[in-house]
Structure 1
Amino acid sequence: MCARPWDLITVKSHQELSVPASDWVQTHASKIKAGGRVLDYACGSGRHAVWLAKQGFQVMAIDRDLASLQQIKSQHPDLAIQTEAIDLETDAWSLSHLGQFDAVIVTNYLYRPFLQKLPNLLNSQGVLIYETFAIGNEAFGKPSNPDFLLTPNELLGFASNMRILAYEDLTVTQPKPACVQRVCAVPLQSKT
């Protein structure tokens, strides 16, 4: 039997669970309501879901990879993490059944057709923490396809209807060298 592409990703993502939560996520998690509901969107191996749950947040981890989601639950049954397998790139994209969240976390994932819908998942006091690869990353390896790399200031444009709390477009060295853009933003009416 041939391995499906996401099965190969799963093997690697299970190994990545030992990678600590992103510095960006750790820094801006303090802006999330204490004990609040957090959506880890395209959670992969669950490194952020696990870290956030250990900080006392109620986490919903979603991804298309059922094996990764099952591993998160089996390895951390004591943590407040719910999981749901969802193909985040289908035309029928709807997460309204999940309700709204105090925070939405997205790292190392980019699917432009639904980027503008992410703020709809936040409640009025919610926080969006987003970090992914940018143009220039091809010098360091994958992803190198422009479809998966943000263009200069693209995250700022995406969050133009939000209040930007922090933004960076830089090269990082940890956990491995990469060009990234990252934003922390709240709805315009938020008092955060």
Structure 2
Amino acid sequence: MAGGDRERWDARHRAVEQAGPAAGPMPPDALRGREHLVPGGGRALDVACGRGSVAVWLAARGFTVDAVDVSEVALAGGADLAERRGVGDRVRWWAHDLDAGLPAACTGPYDAVVCQRFRDPALYPVLAGLLAPSGLLVLTVLSEVDDAPGVFRARPGELADAFGGLSVLDHRERDGEANLVARAAEVRR
């Protein structure tokens, strides 16, 4: 990602910050109403975490979270939210350009991997590979379904095709959005 993109995201997050405090903790979009699917703690990765509402939600549920975003302004807002919610010690914030992959310190395995509104098909196998046995993957991306094609939009069936090696619990494509909730296989002894 070019420095201009980082500056653009910082400016966007600054504008949101000036409009008021960060949104409170909330589950990822693809899990709303299905929060029971989330394991009861462990390690989690929040990719493109923005201002940290999902990372803080995960931390409040007992996870130790690695939260990654390109915007340092967004990460500062997330760290503030985590402190206000009493889980500041449960989230590590990583300023990192995701176009270069994930930070080297984000090695997994993770019991939950979440990514909202960031699409990079090159990262799909990496995200699946970071899951612990029975780990949960939760993705939401922009989609061409019911919307126009575009470089940032997934083609129909993209998520289901990319994560076919996982057990798909829920897959929806509509209104310009695609969601996938999937679980890694259990290790059997």
1:28 CA displacement:
4.0
CA distance in 1, matches of 2:143, 2:14: 25
1:134 CA displacement:
0.7
Which residue in the other structure is 2:98 paired with? 88
Which residue in the other structure is 1:168 paired with? 172
CA distance in 2, matches of 1:51, 1:151: 30
Q: Which consecutive residues of structure 2, in runs of 5 or more, have no partner in the other structure?
A: none
Which residue in the other structure is 1:181 paired with? 178
Which residue in the other structure is 1:120 paired with? 129
Root mean square deviation of aligned Cα? 2.6
1:12 CA displacement:
4.4
CA distance in 2, matches of 1:137, 1:7: 30
Q: Secondary structure at the match of 2:132?
A: strand
Which residue in the other structure is 1:174 paired with? none
1:96 CA displacement:
5.2
Which residue in the other structure is 2:105 paired with? 97
Change (3 A) 1:32 1:129: same
Q: Which consecutive residues of structure 1, in runs of 5 or more, have no partner in the other structure?
A: 139-143, 172-178
Which residue in the other structure is 1:109 paired with? 118
Relative to the length of structure 1, the TM-score reads 0.78
Change (3 A) 1:131 1:102: same
Deviates more, 1:10-19 or 1:123-132: 10-19
1:94 CA displacement:
4.6
- Alignment length (residue pairs): 176
The AA in structure 1 aligned to 2:92 is Q
2:16 matched to 1:7?
no
Change (3 A) 1:70 1:26: same
Change (3 A) 1:88 1:53: same
Identity among equivalent positions (%) equals: 23
1:181 CA displacement:
0.9
Relative to the length of structure 2, the TM-score reads 0.80
Which residue in the other structure is 1:176 paired with? none
Change (3 A) 1:94 1:74: closer
**Runs of 4+ with >6 A deviation:** none
Which residue in the other structure is 1:72 paired with? 78
CA distance in 2, matches of 1:21, 1:186: 17
Q: Is the 8 A contact 1:63 1:84 kept in 2?
A: yes
CA distance in 1, matches of 2:180, 2:142: 12
CA distance in 1, matches of 2:39, 2:45: 13
1:190 CA displacement:
5.9
